[in-house]
Structure 1
C-alpha cells in the first residue's frame, strides 16, 4: 500500500503520525511510505532520518495527499486539507467529528474512508489509541494549570503544593478515566489537595484504593459540583463519551460561584468541552477570561510536548496501521472489531452512531460496506 504522511498544519501542532522507526516496520511489510518534507522536524526527526529508514520525501502537502492510498495524520484535517482528500482514500487520524459539523460534512463530501483513532475500541471498552494522548493531556492539565494559577498569568496567585504553614491549592477533577487519573496523580505528586469526581461507584472505589492520601473521591452530580467549585482553585474537565459530544458539567451560571482567578482546564475541548463556556484555543493564544475565571482550552495539548507525544502515539497506532496496510481497510476491519469501531465515515455516509446523533444526520452500520 502507498502511505502518505503529511506535515500537520494545525496551529502549533508539532507531532507527526509516523516515526522513522515506524517507516522501517511498514517498509518491512512491503509498503511504500511518502513523507512530506519537514513533517517530523517538530518532533525531532529530520528528513534524512526518514530517507535512511526507507521513506521517500515529497516537497508539498498536495503531492503527499495525491499519491497516497492511506493518509496517516495526528490531528483532524483542517479546511485547506479538505479539497486534498480523495474518494476512497483511507484517512487514519484523530477526527473528533462530534464536536465539529463542517469537518463531518466535508469528509462525507470527499467520499473518503475515515477511521478515527479515538473510537478504536477494545472488548473491555478501553480506547487504545486515545489512551497515550489522554495520559499526556491529563498530566499536562496540571502542569499548565499550576502555571496559570500564578498571578502574572491571570490566576489567583496560589502555589499548587503550598509550603509549610500554608495550605496547598485545591484541585477538582471532573472524570475518573485516563485523563482524570493522570491529572490526579500529577496534582497529588505536586502536593495539592485533590478531589476526583466520577459517576461510577466501582471506578471511585478503584481510585480510592490506588490514589495517595491527598486524593479524595466524590460522586459526580450537579449538586456536588456546585458545592465544590466554590472553594477549588484549579478545575480540570476530563469527561469523555467515546465518539460523542461531551456533556456540560459546568454551566455559564456556575462561574459566578467560583473565586475570581480560578483556573479551568477543559481537556474535553476537542469533543465539545464539558465546560459550557469552553471554546477551542491554541498554544499561541491559550487562555481567555469570562466572569473573572481563567479558561485554558487548548485543543491539542500534547502538541506542546511533541517528542514525548509522537513516540507515545506511534507506539499505539503502528500495529493497527500495519494491519490496515497489509490487509486493506475492509479485510482489516472484518478481522479486527477494534478497527471496525474506528470507522466513522465511509463514502459519504456516517457509520458511527454518536456522530450521527450529534448532528441529527442519517446513520448507516459500517458492516454494510464490508
Structure 2
C-alpha cells in the first residue's frame, strides 16, 4: 500500500503521524512511504531520518495523488476540504462530535473518503488512541494554569513551605484528563478540591491510574471532595456558586454526557459566577468544548492565547499536547502504529471487518456518517459501515 504522511498546517501544531523507525517496519512489509517536506521537523524528526529509513520526501500534491492511506494528526482545515477523494483513507483525529458545525462536516466528507477517527477507535470500552493525548492534556493544562496564575495573579501556587499560602485549585471531573491534572497538583503542593459524581471511587481510580496500592490520597493531600448531583445538577451549581470565589484556578476536565442535555444544565459555571471570582484567577476548559459546561470558555488553536473576561484569565487550547511535539508524537504513534500496519497489510476492507476497534473508529465513508453517536448529536442519518464496505 502507498502511505502518505502529511505535514500539519493547524496553528502551533508540531506533531507528526509517523516516526522514522516505523517507516522501516512498513517498508519491510512491502509498503511504500511518502512523507511531506518537513512534516516531522517540529517534532524532532528531520527529513533525512525518514529518508535513511526508506521514505521518499515529496510535496503534498504528489502524496495525495499517489497514496491511498493518508496519516495525519488533526482534522483537515477548511482550505484542505477539497484535498481528498473517494479513494483516500484518512487516519487522524476528526472530532466530528465536538465544535465543528454540521454543514462543515457535510462539506468535508462530500468526496466520499473513509475517515477513521483516532478518538473513536475503541477496545473493550477504552480509547487507546485518545488516552495518551488526554493524559498529556491534563498535565499540560495544570502546568499552564499555574504559569498564568503566577504571572497574572502574582502568587506562587505550590505550598512548598509552611509560610506559603499556595493556590486553591478546583478540578471538575476525574477522568483521564482530570487524573493527570490532579497528579500535577498533588506533586506541586496545591490545595486541591475535586468535583466529581462518583466520590466513593476517587481513591480507587487514583490508585489504579498511578499503579499504587491502597494509598489514601484524599487524606494524604487533604483533598476536598464535592459531589456532583447527576439527578439535580442545579443543586450542585448552586453550591458551587457559593464557593467559586475561593478558587485561584479552575480546571474543567469533564465533558457533557448525553444524560446531561442543555435543558437540564445549561452551564455548570455561568458568566454571573465568573464575575464573582477574584481578579486574575484562572479558568480552563481542558476539553476545549465551546460555551459548554463553562459559559465563557471558547477554544483556541493558539497554544499561548488567553482571554481575560470579567477580569478572569480564560485558557482553552484545543490541541495542547502539540506544545511537547516530540513526546506527544512518540506516545501517540506507539498506539496508532499497530493499526496502521494492520490496515496496510490486510487492506482496509479486511482490516475493518476483522478488527472491531478499527470498525468502531470509522466515522464517515461514501459521503455518509457511519458513527451513531455523531449522527445523533449532529443531526445526520446514520449508516452502518457493514452495509457500505
Indicate whether the TM-score tops 0.5: yes
Counterpart in 1 of 2:363? 344
Q: Flag the 1:142–1:87 CA change in 2: closer, same or farther, 3 A.
A: same
Query: 1:27-106 maps to which residues of 2 (within 5 A)?
Result: 27-58=27-58, 60-98=59-97, 99-101=99-101, 102-106=103-107
The corresponding residue for 2:3 is 3
Q: Say if 2:150 and 2:157, in contact at 8 Å, map to a contact too.
A: no
Native 8 Å contact 1:244 1:354 kept in 2: no
What is the deviation of 1:158?
2.0
Q: Secondary structure at the match of 1:257?
A: coil
Bigger mean CA deviation after superposition, 337-346 or 221-230? 221-230
Aligned counterpart, 1:127: 127
TM-score, with structure 2 as normaliser = 0.87
- Counterpart CA distance in 2 for 1:23 and 1:318 is 10
**Structure 1, unpaired ranges of 5+:** none
2:116 partner SS:
strand
Q: Deviations over 1:50-72 (max 9, x none)?
A: 011111110x2222222210111
Q: Max radius of gyration: which structure?
A: 2
Q: Call closer, same or farther: CA 1:244–1:325 in 2, change over 3 Å.
A: farther
Q: In the alignment, which residue of structure 2 is the partner of 1:239? A: 254
Structure 1 residues 252 and 345: alpha-carbon distance in aligned structure 2, compared to 1, 3 A threshold: farther
CA separation in 2, counterparts of 1:185 and 1:85?
41
CA distance in structure 2 between the aligned counterparts of 1:286 and 1:66, rounded to whole angstroms = 36
Aligned partner of 2:174 in structure 1 is 176
Give the structure 2 partner of residue 157 of structure 1: 154
Distance 1:66 1:169 in 2: 54
Match of 2:282 in 1: 263
Using the alignment, how far apart are the partners of 2:261 and 2:293 within structure 1? Answer: 5
Stretches of 4+ aligned residues off by more than 4 angstroms? 241-248, 270-273
- Alignment partner of 1:305: what SS? helix
Pair 1:229 & 2:256 matched: no
**Change in 2 beyond 3 A, CA 1:19/1:244:** farther
Aligned residues: 365
Q: Distance in 2 between matches of 1:228 and 1:238?
A: 19
* Unaligned segments of structure 2, at least 5 residues: 207-213, 229-235
Find the counterpart in structure 1 of residue 184 from structure 2: 186
In 1, Cα distance between the equivalents of 2:384 and 2:256?
19
Question: Deviation per CA, 1:235-272, whole angstroms, max 9, x where unpaired?
Answer: 11212469999975323332123222111121111687
Give the aligned CA root-mean-square deviation in angstroms: 2.3
Offset of residue 276 of structure 1: 2.3
**Quick one: structure 1 residues 203 and 320, their matched pair in 2 at CA, closer, same or farther if it must change by over 3 Å?**
farther
| Distance (Å, rounded) in 2 between the aligned partners of 1:90 and 1:329 | 8
